[in-house]
Chain A
Amino acid sequence: MSAVLRAARAAVARRRLQTFVLGVVVLVSSAMVVATLGLLAAVSGPFDQVYAAAKGAHVVAEFDAARVTPEQLTRAAHTPGVSAVAGPYPEAVLHQAAMTGERPIGLAGALTVVGRDRTDTPVDVLKLSAGRWATAVGEIVLDLPPGLGPLLITTDRHLTTPDGTDLKVVGYTDSASRSAGGWVTPEQARALHAGSWQMMYRFHRAGSEAELRESTAAATTGLPEHAMTGVSSYLAIKAALAKGPGTYVPFLTVFGVLGLLVSVLIVGNVVSGAVVSGFRHIGILKALGFTPNQVTAVYLLMVTAPAAAGCALGAVVGGVVGKRLVRQAFWGISGGQLVRDGAGIPGWAYPVVLLGMPALAVLSALLPALRARRLPAAVAVSAGGAPRTGRGLAVQRWLSGSRLPRAVSLGLGWPFARPGRTALTLSTVVLGVTTVTLALGLSASVVGYGRSQQQTDVIQVQAQVGNAQWDPTPATHTDEQLMALLRAMPGTAHVRADAPLETRSPGSSEVVQVGVQLGDSEALHPDLVRGRWTAGPGEAVVSGEYWRQHRVSLGQTIVLTDADGRAVPEKVVGETSGGWDVTSVEWDRFVKLSAGRRAMTFSVQLTPGTDPAAYAAAAGRLDPGLRASVNGGADTMEKVIISVVSTLTLLLIIVSALGVFNTVVLGTRERRKDLGMLKSIGMTPRQVVAMVVTAMTALGALGGLAGVPLGMLAHRIVIPATGRSTGIDLPASLLHVWRWQVVLPTLLAGAVIAALGAYLPARGAAKTPVAEVLRTE
């Protein structure tokens, strides 16, 4: 082993604690960088590759079977712009299909059923998540809506069409192209009176709506006029898919940048400290005959070894955590399974981190190592022995004359002795506090958003209605009877019945989710982004997402298909930030499309002073099929965002506290003699702890003062950016989350982080063996 290696190994062994701290900081930082890169890449990158891998359709088109033949469709598709084509497949739309066997999956309503004899078609390859493909008449495979998780074929589930055809569910799949709600054999589709042909295309040019329109026109050239009755583009799927993870991108980016900054500062702090505290060792090496280059090499190696080990472990941890975060981020989003399966940590993230973090450590070490290289041996050997010229003198003098307990005033003066290191530590704390502030603000906004979506401030009790189609204890009263019973209960202010369902606009294969309401709809409506609530039939309110995707405006009329397949024009009078695509009060025309053809829930606003729990219990006794509960609790997205934010915040707090810990370890090591002397003249162990913790707590308090406004600023940037990237118009109230109950503890967060990091080394300093320290020279 060369002398350099031997000396570096000895240096590492001698600084076990320092080496450990450096390793842990690099580990946590690397893990955070890998996880963040993974998430950012998953959010921004993989859809196109994954969609291409699944041979997802750029366009799914429907053609009127009465106007065009399969041969015409196939012939027209043979154009240079089409890279792949699947179909024509017979397609039927089932209105009011009933599902038996257990609670239905997804929303009830219009179900598009396509006759396909295989899964591995040139476009829209289907992967079965459970069961098998439909191979015989009387069988159906259902598209699994997002967010349900894996569903197994464990029970006998059947679908009954309005004309009485019974279809047994034999499998589940998740179509990347969202080409249908169910698949049967072509013979079965024809038997279901398929009136359309479905064609799925992949084009060479499909980057924009304009290109898609051009490519579609080319692939349908020569077909009879009005043959094409509906078309849907993959760009809508892409936009919808980006919506969920889009929630995470702004704050993950901010957290990622904060994490990297904190890591750089801490690595710089740890490494500089290790080199500076090793000056005496440098002198000895030089006295032994080490060349300046060898001395530099010893120090760089001393730093590289723990950095490389921490980085390698951190990459592994980051990989595992990152994949989990990706899974969480895409959970419950249509098409999310595609990204979850295809996206992991991108390959380039590992070499970037594995080379980047040690390089960062080496770069941070380079300046002090070069300083060590230039240092004359005699000066280096005597480092620590000769008195230093005092620094921060004016402050020290002022403090020594103050009325503060001397241990406290000594502690307050401590940071001024090493202004460079203090600045690094202060920056670390500032970033830690910024993170905590941002995290608290984000959580408050997310909870606020959840509250506005769940309307917990307006609706206090919700009651689920047992449905006769699948529920063993169905409601025995009709919706109207239940409404009357609830209205008659003491404590009821307003009641509304809700029935969510799916329908389509005539001429489009796209599914529209409709929330149809009965009762006190206006009194219980959610916050509106613009416009007003629907005043009655012929008017509807749309969600922000629908508003954006369909470029609707107030006063515009949209057309939906009702339970009998007839067109229902609805004038758009308002926009909500979330909720169903369309909310309508045309109960009688739509409710038959819903599961069980009746209300799914009743929402109740109580009069002031009514106990929600007691009311819910009493409401539950009105009907054995009515399950009432207090409205509240966090939804999945809320929980995921808060858990991701909490995890990242915790990591950054740990790293920040380690930064402070390292500063205190270095400081107490450098000041061993001072501490020994102070103890020799009567400073008690508690005073030593108070002095050291005061030093860092003062820095932490300063960090809090600077970090809180920075965190609030970041919150002000992240929330609107989140709204933009998710396509949600967020109410301004989500920015006004700063109340003194939140701000005051956050201001203290810096002091707490600093005190946490300082306490253990302070305890160690209090136990400094005085006799030994003072004797050693």
Chain B
Amino acid sequence: MTKTDRHTGTTDVVRLTDVRKDFGDYAALDGVSLTIGAGEAVAVMGPSGSGKSTLLNLVSGLDRPSSGSVVVGGQDLGGLDEKGLALFRRRTIGVVFQFFNLLDDLPALDNIALAGQLSGLKASAARERGLELMGELGIADRRDVYPAALSGGERQRVATARALMNRPALLLADEPTGALDSRSGEQVMQLLADLNELGQTLLIVTHDPRLAAQCARRVVEVADGRIARDRSTAVAR
């Protein structure tokens, strides 16, 4: 089923064309072209050093390609300056990291609300939206708990809620279960699958075949900076 991206009205959320990324003499990505449609859930897999994290950084605007074009949510990232990229990250994408990256000094709700406040939402509105997300993600009772007192799974849910705060066109997840025990990992996988079920476009970078199998309908395998395989997969729900 093909959906239309609500931000752009187009069907493609991500379009990478002949992208190359060099680190000195080393090409982390070499001639990668990839399109991700709205509502798709794509897992990028590959061994360490294959280039999958570089791919995610390029798509999230955290890094710039050496050549080729990266268009996400209808925006050509090559044409954006630092501020433009920041606004892009704020409005178009949400990122879930392996190690959560929560601010230790803020309780769970304020960590989530932070993304909304940066986008210009008033504190009360941001907290309201944060509580709504916490309820959806099953952690409403942890709103005033600080990251140090949360379990790994709870931290990742808080991080996911923060990523969803601004209703991003694309949710990126970088090894989202990598730092979790198996039970917490299961919970996060289920959460991502549910989000995709609700129409959220997903791009997941993972080593974990179970995560790929559970959350993604399409697996892109990267090796030596190139796309070695791009296949659809049956999603186990």
Contacts and interface: CB of A to CB of B under 8 A. Distances in A.
Interface of A: 386-393, 396-397, 400-403, 406-407, 410, 413, 416-417, 673-674, 676-687, 770-771, 774-775, 777
B95 A777 contact: no
Interface stretch (B35-43, B67-75, B101-109, B206-214): B101-109
Given A387-B147, A389-B104, A771-B57, A685 B90 contact: no
Nearest to B172: A680
Nearest to B63: A771
A679 B3 CA distance: 30
B207 to A, nearest CB: 14
Interface in B72-117: 82-83, 86-91, 94-95, 97-99, 101-107, 110, 113-115, 117
A413 B117 contact: no
Interface of B: 53, 57, 60, 62-63, 82-83, 86-91, 94-95, 97-99, 101-107, 110, 113-115, 117-119, 122-124, 127, 146-148, 155, 162-163, 166, 174
A390 B118 contact: no
Contacts of A777: 98-99
Nearest to B97: A774
Nearest to A767: B82
B148 A387 contact: yes
Nearest to B89: A682
A400 B104 contact: no
B89 A387 contact: no
Nearest to B124: A401
Contacts of A685: 82-83, 86
A687 B114 CA distance: 13
Q: Max chain A CB contacts within 10 Å: which of B90, B105, B147, B166?
A: B105
14 contacts: A387-B104, A396-B106, A406-B117, A413-B105, A674-B103, A678-B114, A680-B60, A680-B89, A682-B91, A682-B119, A770-B62, A771-B57, A774-B101, A777-B99
Given A387-B147, A396-B110, A410-B114, 11 more contacts: A390-B104, A392-B105, A393-B146, A674-B103, A679-B86, A679-B89, A681-B94, A681-B162, A682-B86, A682-B115, A685-B82
Given A388-B148, A400-B123, A406 B114 contact: yes
B118 A403 contact: no
A770 B82 CA distance: 12
Given A406-B118, A770-B62, A393 B105 contact: yes
Contacts of A775: 53
A684 B104 CA distance: 21
Contact of B83 (A400, A673, A684): A684
Contacts of B155: 387
A392 B53 CA distance: 35
B interface secondary structure, majority: helix
A387 B118 contact: no
Contacts of B101: 673-674, 676-677, 680, 774
Given A406-B117, A682-B118, A677 B97 contact: yes
Contacts of A387: 102, 104, 146-148, 155
A684 B82 CA distance: 7
A681 B162 CA distance: 9
Contacts of A403: 122-123
Contacts of A407: 118
A403 B124 CA distance: 9
Contacts of B117: 400, 406
Nearest to B103: A674
Given A389-B104, A391-B105, A401-B123, A681 B90 contact: yes
B151 to A, nearest CB: 12
A681 B165 CA distance: 10
A701 B15 CA distance: 49
Contacts of B162: 681
A388 B104 contact: yes
A590 B123 CA distance: 84
B87 A684 contact: yes
A775 B88 CA distance: 20
Contacts of B115: 681-682
Given A389-B146, A682-B115, A687-B118, A677 B103 contact: yes
Nearest to A388: B104
A392 to B, nearest CB: 7
B24 to A, nearest CB: 14
B97 A400 contact: no
Contacts of B166: 682
B154 to A, nearest CB: 12
Contacts of B105: 390-393, 396, 413, 416-417
Contacts of B57: 771
Contact of B95 (A400, A410, A681): A681
B71 to A, nearest CB: 19
B81 to A, nearest CB: 9
A655 B76 CA distance: 46
A234 B31 CA distance: 93
Contacts of B163: 681
A389 B107 CA distance: 11
B148 A683 contact: no
Contacts of A390: 104-107, 146-148
Contacts of B94: 681
A417 B82 CA distance: 28
Given A677-B97, A681-B115, A397 B110 contact: yes
B49 to A, nearest CB: 12
A584 B123 CA distance: 78
Contacts of A406: 114, 117-118
Contacts of A686: 83
B159 to A, nearest CB: 9
B166 to A, nearest CB: 8
Contacts of A400: 106, 110, 113-114, 117, 123
Contacts of A771: 53, 57, 62-63
A686 B87 CA distance: 12
Nearest to B159: A677
A406 to B, nearest CB: 4
Listed from nearest, the 8 A-B pairs whose CB atoms lie closest are: A682-B90, A677-B101, A406-B117, A684-B86, A390-B105, A771-B57, A771-B62, A387-B148
Contact of A680 (B62, B99, B107, B113): B62
Contacts of B104: 387-390
A609 B45 CA distance: 88
A363 B97 CA distance: 42
B165 to A, nearest CB: 8
A111 B169 CA distance: 99
Q: Max chain A CB contacts within 10 Å: which of B86, B95, B119?
A: B86
Contacts of A681: 89-90, 94-95, 114-115, 118, 162-163
Nearest to A680: B95
A683 B123 contact: no
Nearest to B166: A682
B148 to A, nearest CB: 4
Contacts of B114: 400, 406, 410, 678, 681
A680 B90 CA distance: 8
A401 B82 contact: no
A774 B119 CA distance: 21
Contacts of A417: 105
Nearest to A414: B105
A777 B148 CA distance: 17
A507 B222 CA distance: 109
Contacts of A402: 123
Nearest to B83: A684
A406 B103 CA distance: 14
A388 to B, nearest CB: 5
